[in-house]
Structure 1
Amino acid sequence: MKDTGKHQGLRNQLVSVLIEKGITDKNVLDAIKKIPRHLFLDSSFENYAYQDKAFPIDAGQTISQPYTVAFQSQLLEIKKDHKVLEIGTGSGYQTAVLCLLGAKVYSIERQNELFKRTSVLLPKLGIRPKHLTFGDGYKGLPGFAPFDSIIVTAGAPFIPQALMAQLKIGGRLVIPLGDTVQVMTLLIRKNETQFEKHELGEFRFVPLLEDKN
């Protein structure tokens, strides 16, 4: 699992691209500068790992485009020791960014193959989420709630009520809503019953899977 000076140089170039595209959060940019994205991909994609593109991973899923990861991370406004719920661990790359931002990360993955792989990979890279679990993201993790912020990394047809209920007052929920194309949506919880909603442009994600059992 090598991370070379060449890889670091490519990461620096990637960060420059993200700045040009409007990412301003220094902590998010620093995290992306440090994380070896090539180690989250199949080795056949290694030479392309620092392009601002999504790539296929196991179980018919994708590793998100770095811009999307940065955009969602920036919207969360994470402070050190914030409790963050991530719906869709996937490759673990977004998880790693959240951990480097100082968050206590609780992450759920619906695909057992990805859950097993990520559970091994992240500790090897010295990245330790608070809790990784295999399960249904639509249900969240009520046993660990409330959360300072919640990030959904797959396209959802609606905002699950369970996730809204698990968000702290003042907390931020970032979720891509829609079928073929998703609208990045930010909910800010104002009180027990009221949420402020912001729609922030179109993105493309794989669908958020529900547990049918």
Structure 2
Amino acid sequence: MKGSSHAYIGAATGGIVGFQLNPTDPITISTSAIIGSISALVPDLDTNGAASNRITLSKSFMQWLMHLVGMGLLIAIVFQYVQTGITPKILLFAGIGALLLVVSRFIKQKRMLTLTGLLVMAIGFVLHQSIGILLAGSYIIIASFLPHRSYTHSIIGLAFYTFILYHINLQWPIDGLIIAGTAGYASHLIADMKLLPVNRRGVKLFAPLWNKEW
């Protein structure tokens, strides 16, 4: 099923949740619809998933950023060396700068999703070590190494995503976040099941305990 179809189904699912929570509040209904739509795309963050390329940083941008930071560190170290000589701090930052320059030459597009996850985790540290954002980054990193329609399309993936929503909601409470997000994610799994005639493949809901496709 196409990503746009999952987004529409997730929006409808989230909207229904919002209506059940507060049928007279259009903000709750629309917010839940947006949450459901976004959540319905999350399972496809795995390798070759439709959503992975949409959130992945471009290879050229990341190479440019690595070059900029790497050269900036090396230039700053030169000035620092003139003032203080060689120190452990200078050696550390020199190593980081050189590593960035080397890694930027060998980086592959398929690993950009991994780097995107690392960037999300870095944002989590900046935001007072937000557990929810850190978990979201870890989800992206894990998904970047998984084949399509594997663990992100299972009960394990759904449970992990709900766990992420729970911690995000603790820090930034939003009406319907957990329920609408979980329902939106679940709608993706249901829409990808073989019970629908449009799907040639199903999903392994109970992987790794049971690898039967549903």
TM-score normalised to structure 1 length: 0.24
Structure with bigger helix share is 2
TM-score normalised to structure 2 length: 0.24
> Which structure carries more relative contact order (alpha carbon 8 Å, separation 6+)?
2
From the CA coordinates, give the structure whose radius of gyration is larger.
2
Structure with bigger strand share is 1
